[in-house]
Structure 1
């Protein structure tokens, strides 16, 4: 446990280069090539995290200003995804879940029940979260480990199901995204897009990046769109003109830089993906395997970022008007690009449809986050998680986005009530 925790504490930007280098050597790459791929991917992740961090540095204060300006008084504070990670890593099942997930992945690949080799080790905490919730509910470590394994299997199948759309829309050949908070919503988003096709009028509305740029010229360019959306957010926050401009320019920078950071990551990933295909074609003729990666590589899409920026005020409005919601969105507003991946992919970049689906998703996420607030607060109190000053109850949008873990948790809750 100590060794595993030490490695995880290094963070994904250090862990991923190690994993990629080792995997490259297994696939027959020279050390220099494997090391270069690993370091390039690590640098790409650092760049992505820096840009998303920049977004969070400016979005969170704006969100807080908006909540104060419009008198939003909600009792559960969104403390961000770290609360979910703390709940996961604060339990004793961590090493067992890592072992179970690794073994399950090998078995599923060997039996052709998955095409995904999940190297996103850092985000195994998603599967641990299910186990932590179930263990807290039942008091059984075995039940927690089983729940984690079930979550892993479901997410791998969803990654396989969604991989063709990911590869086509983002131009990521040989990649899948077994990322729980995002891929859990893929079937629902795809279903919603089919529903829109059947609705007269709505099925004719189409706004993608190319359409917006053609219709609005320079205003439709990603950086200018970021400037406008950022400035609009600043205006809603009641900022002075200088702060409005500053927020706008920084959001323009996010729109401009983030896709380039993803390109750096892809520069390291593509040699690995190509050599993996050659290795498998030689050792296992006809076998297709996708590399399972962090969904961060999909956040560089201009439509994903644009939808996320628009959804910030929408999410805050929903938090106020939804009956029964108690969560005040704050920290995880910066993670909205992750949540908007599947509304965008399912609609093939149609911003209009993405925003409708995104709104429906955020309604569900807020209610799930509210429902899990009591459990999240109690588990966080039993760990070393630091509560914000004055906060009596905590949750996060990220907690609400873990749809598959939530469903498994509620099933466990149902059976416990019966038996």
Structure 2
């Protein structure tokens, strides 16, 4: 477990090149080709991380300013995704879940139960989270491992189901996204899209990127759209002119740079994807293989970023008006691009539908985050997590986004 944690602590930018290089060698690539693919993908992830980090550095202070300006007083503080990962790694279940999920993936591939080879090992902590919650609630290691395995199976099937949409919308051939906080919501939002198609008036509203650019001209271009949205957030935060302009330019940079970082990642991924298809075609004719990646590859879409920026004030408003909600969104507002992937993809880039579905999804996330606050606080205390000053309870939007782990945790809690 010590060596596993050490390896994972290196981060996806290091873990992924190693995994990709090894996978390339298994698929029959020369060492030079496999190493280049691994390094290129790692560099792509570093680029994505740098740009999303820029967004977080700019958005978090703006969100805090909005909270203070509009006097939003809620007792559960959003401390970001680290609280989710600290819960995941707080029990002795970690190595068991990694081994079980890896073996389960191989068995599912061999039995043609899944088409996804999930190489996003760094995010296996999503499955560990389910097991940690169940083990904490029941005291049973076995129940925790089983819960993690069930989560893995469900997420892999969701990834298979949604892979064609991911590949079509993002232009990522041979890729699926078994990312728990995102793909957990895909079936619900796909269902909402079918409902919208039946509502008179709503079904005719079209606000995809092409339509917006046609109607708004230069104001619909990603850079200018980022400029406008950044300025709007700065104004809501009560910034002066200098602060508004700075935030606006930085959001324009995010809109411009993220798609280019994803292109770098794809430069390394495409050769691997093609060789994987050939490898499978030779040994299993007629079979299809998708490479399961971190949903970060989907955050490069301008419509995803635009929807995420608009959702920041919407999320804060919902947190304030929802009866029973106690979670104050803060740190994880910078992760909204991850949460908005499926509202955008399922609605084929229709920004109007994405914002409606995104709002419904955020309502559920806020309530789940509130419901899990007591257990999140207790486990965080046991791991010596650094609580914000004055915070009595903590949670996060990220932990609220783990829909499948939350449901499985609740179900297991009823029987153990």
TM-score range relative to shorter protein = over 0.9
- Counterpart of 1:80 in 2: which secondary structure? coil
Unaligned runs of 5+ in 1: none
Unaligned runs of 5+ in 2: none
Task: Supply the distance in 2 between the matched residues of 1:6 and 1:60 (Cα, whole angstroms).
Answer: 29
Task: Supply the distance in 1 between the matched residues of 2:164 and 2:213 (Cα, whole angstroms).
Answer: 27
Residue 384 of structure 1 and its aligned partner are, at CA, apart by 3.2
Runs of 4 or more, structure 1, over 4 Å off, are none
Task: Supply the distance in 2 between the matched residues of 1:50 and 1:219 (Cα, whole angstroms).
Answer: 26
Task: Count residues with an aligned counterpart.
Answer: 416
User: TM-score normalised to the size of structure 2?
Assistant: 0.99
Task: Supply the distance in 2 between the matched residues of 1:83 and 1:50 (Cα, whole angstroms).
Answer: 21
User: TM-score normalised to the size of structure 1?
Assistant: 0.99
Q: How does 1:133-282 map to 2 (within 5 A)?
A: 133-282=133-282
1:279-317 Cα offsets, whole Å, 9 max, x none, are 111122111110000000000001100000000000000
**Which residue is 1:59 aligned to?**
59
RMSD (Å), alpha carbons? 0.6
- Counterpart of 1:54 in 2: which secondary structure? helix
Task: Supply the distance in 2 between the matched residues of 1:347 and 1:287 (Cα, whole angstroms).
Answer: 29
1:315-356 Cα offsets, whole Å, 9 max, x none, are 000000000000000000000000000000110000000000
Residue 370 of structure 1 and its aligned partner are, at CA, apart by 0.2
**Which residue is 2:292 aligned to?**
292
Q: How does 1:27-176 map to 2 (within 5 A)?
A: 27-176=27-176
**Which residue is 1:312 aligned to?**
312
1:230-264 Cα offsets, whole Å, 9 max, x none, are 00000000000100000000000000000100110
Residue 18 of structure 1 and its aligned partner are, at CA, apart by 0.1
- Counterpart of 2:197 in 1: which secondary structure? helix
**Which residue is 1:407 aligned to?**
407
Residue 367 of structure 1 and its aligned partner are, at CA, apart by 0.2
Residue 389 of structure 1 and its aligned partner are, at CA, apart by 1.6
Residue 415 of structure 1 and its aligned partner are, at CA, apart by 2.2
Task: Supply the distance in 1 between the matched residues of 2:146 and 2:410 (Cα, whole angstroms).
Answer: 15
